[in-house]
Structure 1
Amino acid sequence: MLVGREKELGDLRDRLSRIESRGCGVGLVGEAGVGKSALQAAVVADARARGFTVLTARGSEAETHLPFASLHQVLRPVLARSATLPARQRDALLSGFGMSEVTSPDPFLIALAVLELVVDAARQAPVLMSLDDLHWMDEPSVDVAAFVARRVESERVMVLASVRAGSASFTDDPSMEWMTVAGLDASAASALVDEHAPDLTPALRERVLRAAQGNPLALQEFPVAMRSGRFGWTELSDELPMTTRLERAFVSRVAHLPAATRTLLMVAALDDGTDLAEMLAAASIVAGATVGLEASQPAFDEGLLISDGAVTHFRHPLVRSALWHTTPLARRQAGHAALASVLSGPHPDRATWHRASSITSADERIAAELEQAARNAFRRGALVSAVSWLRRAAALSPDQSARGARLLDAAEIAFELGRFSQVEQIRRQVAGMALRPRDQSRLAWLEGVFDDGCSGESAEVRRLSRLAEQALHTSDPDLAMQLLVGAARRVWWSDPGADVRQEIVRMAQQVPLPEDDPRLLAVCALAESNERGSFVIGQLADWPSDAHGRPEAAGLLGIAAFCTGDFARAVEFLSTPVDALRAQGRLSLLAEALAIRAWAAIYLGGFELARTADEAMRLADETGQTLWAATARIAIAAIGAIRGSHGPDAELLTAAERVAVRTPIATSSLLAGVQFARGLAELGAARYEQAYGQLRRVFDPEDPAFQRAQQVWTLSYLAEAAVHTGRQDEGRALLVAIERVAGSDPSPAARIALEYSRAVLADDTTAEVLFQQALDGGGRRLPWHRARAELAYGSWLRRHRRLVESRTMLRAARDAFDTLGARAWAERADQELRATGEKGWLPTVGPGDLLSPQEAQIAELAAQGLSNREIAQRLYLSHRTIGSHLYRIFPKLGITSRAQLRAALASGTAPPGETARSNRTAPSASPSRRPTRSRARPDQMQSDDASQPDVPVSPPVKRPGPRPKPYLPESL
């Protein structure tokens, strides 16, 4: 019976009661001893009584360096189910536990495997995942727990974690609801003292209550310590932190125990395992005599150790901490050495860690062993643990250059994990060391790597070029090109000037590579997209879209195509790495490829494909890539503007702007994208004055939003705003300037922009010829660009009273915009048609209007014949979550089976009753809205069978309401 915790326990039990309708993640935060574990234990007992499957783990300070140690605890009851997982997930998970020979499994595959096991268990009974002392768990396990907690809202799963106040564990994760556990009130504290120490004198009782300050553990332990007479009041005074006072209270129990027991407890405090036989063997080595099982009994009697027969651990983490702090360094080292000796056979990596902890001076042999252990952790997919092992290896390296190399290895792995602060910390640590030339270049590459060098100044870019030159002179062309690609990326995000751009390209051309090498093309396109565009596009034409089966090369070619304005090829090239990276589970690079491809699709007018920016945003947030998350957010806002939302989501664009300006040199490419999205929204709403003001910034070299390539692609939209605001002369001056930038052989994107702008800005004597050229030019096969030209031409014809001809153009434009889902533009075309006397049109509602981006992606994959589980693997969700999405999708599309999906998506129209709606704002389903789940037919709703015909469709097809706010992703 918990004293004084009725409210907290009631809240947690309420969440258990609502698990059928909503999964959740709840975290308990409080100081040591405040009762978090007791609350968890009560919830665990209640969950078991309700028939839950309970998966538990408790963190241990000594085990924080052991990869997936806590995860193995959690999964022990359901690990046998791993045989039913898809092969890649199963192999990755077992490799993490050292039970498979698969090397370097992706951490996200491991996390997805855990999610599938938990969700699969929830099909039979609700699941409670209880994670006690999360702050002492190994980081790979914590990362997996965070991954799962973000995806259980639509599952019968509750994640319950406890974290000590001030911990850096994922307490800022919005997917978790954090409850502060405070000390007991005066009444409950008095009741607890009276229950555990009824014989206290009034004076002693008052002192205990005052010193404990409502901390339940202190209320139980202080009376024992005080009655022992081993501690004075000053040592338990309020001036000391509560953890220190509690540690001293526990130490008071140890001092009077037999010597053999004290040695055993000391070894147990150092051990990273829970095997009592292992502890006794190591204690015997330290004592120089056999320490038998009888030596452990006093520790159990005193309540310091507890055991269930298989696992032995301390009653409370503070017991371990107290023993560690009170043990002299020399004796701790002896304990670690003994444990290393005991573990050297069965657990070599653990033995290495203890051996390293047994010394304080540098030792290359042990440093090399730690480095090998780091490689072992890396092969198992425990990248976070590999970083810790490498940093420890560096600390024990006698040679400074070797120390720097190991730290840089750790930093590069931390970069893969998206750990910005960790990379920066290591980089500062290495900065003053004497490094080998190659390591100096690696260090330079790490500087600014998280933002792709968007904050790089010209001096920094030149330094990268010089380091590339050094690498070239030492016959290391691969490192040279890695540095030059990094330098060119910096140039793209923030232009340092023509001299620097030219220097990068000259250096790249000195590297002995073929002219069509993807790295060389990427450097030329990033650094001099306008000047070298014709050369790059010519070389790209000789490459197949899959780059001969080389995903990395295809990715670089896609970047080269995008930067030079060859967006059709960019989409083709980037689709290859998107598929490969998705299959490999390399989510960091997948987010980047999806974001770039989404923008290429936006500039082409392929808005359905561009909606994968939503996935790019979620993955970039998941992997900690703020730059690509911002890029995706702007893309989502731009799509919303085109689809007719009256003003792009302010939160999305504000968040992107914060990323853009966080560095000394603002990221001009991101800011240009923000202005483009805002300008589109204003154009769609026919607020032309505001549109001109937003778009004009992209063309001003003195404005932070100026971007050399993006101004070319933005020109046609600015020209449209200029015409409607009477700024034709300003528009024509900019047109002339962009013609000079684009050159005599403009890129496909530049050609479309120039042809449209020349037509709308022309005087009446030349306009008609130029409009025809625009219709027959670079955008003739692209519905979005052709429709924009038709709208402009039709409006021009109407103004010149050629009504019959104008109707043909305006009708074609309206229908094309309607099909594309560009609602605002369709309505503008319809207004022009109404001005000619033609009326009677109502907009259609297509699948893209009714489904959220994620729902549309799931529907498309299901229409291709993929099962729920196959879709889940692609999107890193659980297969039951896919089923829940389909539950929502079917009634929105007016269908009842998977067999109807393909036709419904291809029809481009909504189910009956939707087209006549009065609200013309295109609706979008919010992923945050949950279906009412029916437990009556779970097999149908969550089927893994691709041919499963039916999903229960009990809710009626409803008329769409106003567009909700765009989907905001889960974040780390």
Structure 2
Amino acid sequence: MLILRGEPGIGKTALLGYAASQAAGFRVVRAAGVESEMELPFAGVHQVCAPILGRIDSIPSPQRDALRIAFGLQEGPAPDRFMVGLAVLTLLAEEADEQPLLCMADDAQWLDQSSLQVLSFVARRLVAERIAMLFGSRAPEEAHELAGLPDLTLRGLADRDARALLASAVHGPLDPQVRDRIIAETGGNPLALLQLPRDVGPAELAGGFWLPGAGQLTTRIENSFVQQFRRLPPETQTVLLLAAAEPTGDAALLSQAGALMGVDPEASAPAESAGLVECGAVIRFGHPLVRSAVYQAASAVDRRAAHQALAEATDPASDPDRRAWHRAHATVGPDETVAAELERSAGRAQARGGLAAAAAFLERAAALTPDSWQRTDRALAAAEAKTRSGAFDGALKLLALAEARPLDELRRARIDLLSAQLAFVSNRGSEASPLLVAAARRLEPIDVDLARATYLDALNAAIFAGSRARPGGSTREVARAARRALAASLPLSARDLLLDGLATNFSEGYSAGLPRIRRALTAFERDNSTEAEHRWLWLAGIAANHAWDERRWDMFSGRHVRFTRDSGALSELPFALNQRAYVVLFAGDLMAASALVEEAQAATEAMGGSRTQYAALALAALRGDEAETAALARAAKEDFVLRGESIGNFIAKWATALLNNGLGNYHVALAAAADAYGSPPDVTKVAWGLVEGIEAAARSGSPDLGTDALRRLTETTSVAGGDWALGIEARSRALLSEGESADELYREAITRLTGTRMRVELARAYLVHGEWLRRANRRVEAREQLRVAYEMLTEMGMNGFAARARRELVSTGEVVRRRAVDDFAQLTAQETQIARLARDGMTNQEISTHLFISPRTVEWHLSNVFTKLGITSRKDLRPIRP
């Protein structure tokens, strides 16, 4: 796997071609990004897969269906983007089993977003497959989905080589000063050295009075190609223009379009002789800059004529979106027929999971819409799609377009709403909640349902902003405004119940709001059928956590991740993954949480962002990693200052307290926890800070501080009930109690937490009980509890807490021996995951689907596992706990 990076003309395409020519015994599949084709979803992936689609029936049916839907070959629900990636990986691996495969993608910066994400997904998972991948791309920022992959930046030729290449392109005398000037100005760019002398007369080259053309090097190279293009016969120019306007290069389609324009198919011969194109079943340009030069050199009238011919030649049944795309480029002014066709293409693109493509189709449809009201509506729909796909700058431009004319009250309210939502998803800080409240109030007399949905958005934003919310945007202020809003029509939806429950909670208190929140959670559990309900799953998960409902927190976080992946809603994915990671962390599966954190970071980077991943903070703290926790806490506090995102500041303090409780630095933990639970009571995770504060206070000799924190904690746990809440309450009370009362409370905590998914909390209950027993000089009983704690904490990778448990065990006189499960410490994280799944009975194919890798990679990892552990089959795998 390698990315060749560099400026246009530096040799990326030539090197890719050389690699293909040298790939003896390999099958070569390739794609080439085309700037004008970035609107078509999965177009680049289709180029790669088209030659081997005959194997599609050999891949598992969920992957096969996802790929067929993505390519528009069958209808169905929008495919999971990761399932499409896995399908492509499996398809390529199947082909590579028969013959090694070289997969190449040139001009990757111009691949459509869906394709670039899928191909980078595949590239990151190549381990044991007989597949080589090569990308050609410009500067890293132009294809940030490829960030972090191995790359090679190409530079200009050295002076000696540049002189030799230039001499080969100049047939006649060359003045030394002109030669040195050309070499200096081209920076040794090979294509420039070959092309620029073609536009300079022999007298100028020999006489020493050549002047360079104006503009950037790329422009000057393109101008050279333009001059060659204009010297060709008119019919040849038409053939090249058709090829430049149709990215697939399908010779049959181009021949048909040429016939419609009255062009002889053999007219391409002069261009082929000049090295501008290669003709076969697919027509390819000698260099990507030739394509852009040809297209830009043609007049607007000729370009429209070419697109019109290509639209007429394209089958509307098999490729309606490409036909609509050509028709849009052939249209001069407003045309409702074409705009409506583009709108239908947007719907198909969204159904295939291509939100970015849907936005592009809608944007073009808006530009071609004759009716001003409908133009505004399509611009708003495009802005919404761009917002959800993470293209925030594009969304802002479309909002400006929508606002360019006088608006009625409904559209004004929609613009206000989308502006506020954009502020929220792009910067979940102090600005969004008051904007959303203002939009909701404007909507109340127009659309009660939409107004209530907007109030719920505002509550969501207020939770993030916390104490930093602007006036009118705190959770209490938003809740009161929502309570004054008109009632929803019956029957109440899950969303309406959630709004009522949270608004009551934040305005009247936990006890008043909890019954309504629980009704909302029940409704969400029953209704997972519509996108409207999925929109609120993140907040439903927060509400479940607030209600100490671990089962529904688990359920909703999992559903939210699946939905954001399926819909391609990239702007929501990092938040869904972070919440899911917290659920997995509390369950003690730090390995799975780490994978979610990495995915969230990748999704954030794909949007060009650098937001702190809050789940990464919790992961580092649970692992006992002081340096990583400190670095992430600093970043979260910077976000707090930059964006006014109070929840990040809280998480940083809570994670600091958690880390130091694990390390036994109780005074540091107490100070951090006190800062955390000193936040306003409307922060839903404040209970987490209280729990850490109670333990730190008890261990640092500050029981009064712990008692106050316990009082605040029980205001939610005693009302919520349930084993999670009451188990945490019992453990916290025990820490501040003495004698038999403490012992009974510790045992109650262990009993209750054993019945939950919260293995981290259970392990900590065993630990503090064992510590209490040791101090009570009940060493035999202490050893029993501490052994369990040490085993659990070590297996989970909670190194700080595990070290604390080990110290306590040693203090009881125990000799802490190496555990049998420690054999697995020599495995990598992925090997451990695969070994665990194989032990649990999954086949290689099932494991590959679960972990988004190929079956061959699973087989390779299992082989390494068997070698490292000295075993020969799956049945020899010892239990590996998550």
Q: Judge same fold: TM > 0.5, yes or no.
A: yes
Question: What is the identity, as a one-letter code, of the residue corresponding to 1:607?
Answer: G
Question: Who is 1:517 aligned against?
Answer: 494
| SS of residue in 1 equivalent to 2:135 | strand
- 1:55 equivalent in structure 2: 29
CA distance 1:292–1:843, shift in 2 (3 Å): closer
CA gap 1:38/1:463 in 2 versus in 1, 3 angstroms: same
Answering whether residue 854 of structure 2 is matched by residue 878 of structure 1, we say: yes
Q: Is the 8 A contact 2:31 2:104 kept in 1?
A: yes
1:639 and 2:622 are equivalent in the alignment: yes
Q: How far apart are the structure 2 equivalents of 1:732 and 1:418?
A: 46
**Does residue 531 of structure 1 match 2:509?**
yes
Q: 1:171 to 1:607 in 2, by over 3 A?
A: closer
Residue in 1 aligned with 2:336?
A: 364
Q: Which residue among 476, 479, 485 is the counterpart of 1:499?
A: 476
1:162 aligns with: 136
CA contact (8 A) 1:616 1:629 kept: no
Residues 1:650 and 1:824: Cα distance change in structure 2 (over 3 Å)? closer
1:193 corresponds to which of 162, 166, 169: 166
Bigger proportion of residues as helix: 2
- Match of 2:51, SS state, is coil
Shift of 1:136: 3.5
Q: Is the 8 A contact 1:387 1:413 kept in 2?
A: yes
Pair 1:99-2:73 in alignment: yes
- Contact map agreement 1:383 1:417 (CA 8 A) in 2: yes
1:167-186 correspondence to structure 2 within 5 Å: 168-170=142-144, 173-174=147-148, 176-186=149-159
1:128·1:158 contact (CA, 8 Å) conserved in 2? yes
Give the secondary-structure state (helix, strand or coil) at the position aligned to 1:607.
coil
In the alignment, which residue of structure 1 is the partner of 2:685? 710
* Cα contact 2:498–2:520 (8 A) shared by 1: no
Contact kept, 8 Å, 1:390 with 1:409, in 2: the verdict is yes
- 3-state SS of paired residue (2:105): strand
Q: Within 5 Å, give how 1:673-712 maps onto structure 2.
A: 673-701=651-679, 708-712=683-687
1:192 shift after superposition:
1.6
CA distances 1:52-83 after superposition (whole Å, capped 9, x unpaired): 33222233445444443333332233222212
Q: Does 1:613 align with 2:575?
A: no
Corresponding letter in the other structure for 2:494: D
Instruction: Check the 8 A contact 1:620/1:628 in 2, yes or no.
Output: no
Separation of aligned partners in 2, 1:586 and 1:863: 33
SS at structure 2 position matched to 1:152: coil
User: 2:291 matched to 1:320?
Assistant: yes
Give the 3-state SS of the residue equivalent to 1:838 in structure 2: coil
Give the corresponding residue for 1:246.
221
The alignment yields a C-alpha RMSD, in angstroms, of 4.1
Superposed displacement of residue 154, structure 1: 4.6
Contact kept, 8 Å, 1:489 with 1:526, in 2: the verdict is no
SS at match of 2:172: coil
- Deviation of 1:412 after TM superposition, in Å, equals 3.5
Q: If the length of structure 1 is used for normalisation, what is the TM-score?
A: 0.77
Aligned to 1:911: none
Gap change, CA 1:559 and 1:68, over 3 Å in 2: closer
Task: State the AA in 1 paired with 2:348.
Answer: N
Q: Is the 8 A contact 1:356 1:366 kept in 2?
A: yes
After TM superposition, give the deviation of residue 116 of structure 1 in Å.
1.1
Map 1:557-956 to 2 at 5 A: 559=541, 562-571=544-553, 573-574=555-556, 577=559, 595-600=578-583, 602-603=585-586, 606-608=587-589, 611-624=591-604, 630-641=613-624, 645=625, 649-650=629-630, 653=633, 660-661=639-640, 663-668=642-647, 670-701=648-679, 708-739=683-714, 751-761=726-736, 768-776=740-748, 780-782=752-754, 785=761, 788=764, 792=768, 795=771, 799=775, 802-804=776-778, 807-809=780-782, 811-821=784-794, 824-825=800-801, 827-829=803-805, 831-832=807-808, 835=811, 838-842=813-817, 844=819, 846=821, 854-890=830-866, 895-901=871-877, 903-905=878-880
Q: CA deviation at 1:132?
A: 1.8
Corresponding residue for residue 8 of structure 2: 32
Q: Equivalents in 2 of 1:895, 1:545: separation in Å?
A: 49
Q: Partner of 2:269 in structure 1?
A: 297
Counterpart Cα distance in 1 of 2:416 and 2:431: 16
Q: Offset of 1:391 from its aligned partner? A: 1.0
Distance change >3 Å, CA 616–CA 371, structure 1 → 2: same
2:239–2:267 contact (8 Å) kept in structure 1: yes
Q: Deviations over 1:326-380 (max 9, x none)?
A: 3333343344344444447675433433332234433323221221222233344
Q: Pairwise mapping of residues 455-494 of structure 1 onto structure 2 (< 5 A)?
A: 455-466=430-441, 469-470=444-445, 472-473=447-448, 477=449, 479-494=450-465
Whole-Å separation in 2 of the counterparts to 1:833 and 1:271: 72
Is the contact between residue 584 and residue 593 of structure 2 (CA under 8 Å) also seen in structure 1? Answer: no
Aligned-partner Cα distance in 1 for 2:378–2:93 = 39
SS at match of 2:143: coil
Task: Give the match for residue 370 of structure 2.
Answer: 398
SS of match in other structure, 2:31:
strand
Shift of 1:392: 0.8
Query: Aligned equivalents of 1:358 and 1:164: distance in 2?
Result: 30
Q: 2:381 aligns with which of 409, 418, 423?
A: 409
Q: Deviations over 1:728-772 (max 9, x none)?
A: 33333444455567676667655445444444335x6xx643553
Query: Structure 2 vs 1, CA of residues 546 and 856 (structure 1 numbering), >3 Å: closer, same or farther?
Result: farther
**What fraction of aligned residue pairs are identical, expressed as a percent?**
30
In structure 1, C-alpha distance between the alignment counterparts of 2:520 and 2:382, rounded to whole Å: 39
| CA gap 1:255/1:430 in 2 versus in 1, 3 angstroms | closer
In structure 2, the CA distance between the partners of 1:125 and 1:841, relative to structure 1 (3 Å rule), is same
Deviations 1:812-858 (A, max 9, x none): 244234234355445545544655x6333436364786666544443
Question: What 5-or-longer segments of structure 1 have no aligned partner?
Answer: 1-23, 909-972
SS of residue in 2 equivalent to 1:896? coil
Question: Structure 1: how far apart are the matches of 2:225 and 2:340?
Answer: 38
Aligned partner of residue 448 in structure 1, secondary structure: helix
Q: Which amino acid aligns with 1:327?
A: A
- Greater CA deviation, 646-655 or 219-228? 646-655
Q: What are the equivalent positions in structure 2 for 1:57-206 lying under 5 Å apart?
A: 57-102=31-76, 104-165=78-139, 168-170=142-144, 173-174=147-148, 176-202=149-175
* Contact 1:340 1:355 (8 Å CA) reproduced: yes
Task: Tell me which amino acid in the other structure corresponds to 1:700.
Answer: G
Distance in 1, matches of 2:53 and 2:837, equals: 30
CA distance in 2, matches of 1:895, 1:342: 62
Counterparts of 1:327 and 1:153, CA distance in 2 = 46
- 3-state SS of 1:162 partner: strand
The number of residues matched between the two structures is 853
Indicate how the Cα distance of structure 1 residues 345 and 581 shifts in structure 2: closer, same or farther if over 3 A, else same: closer
Distance 2:414 2:202 in 1: 59
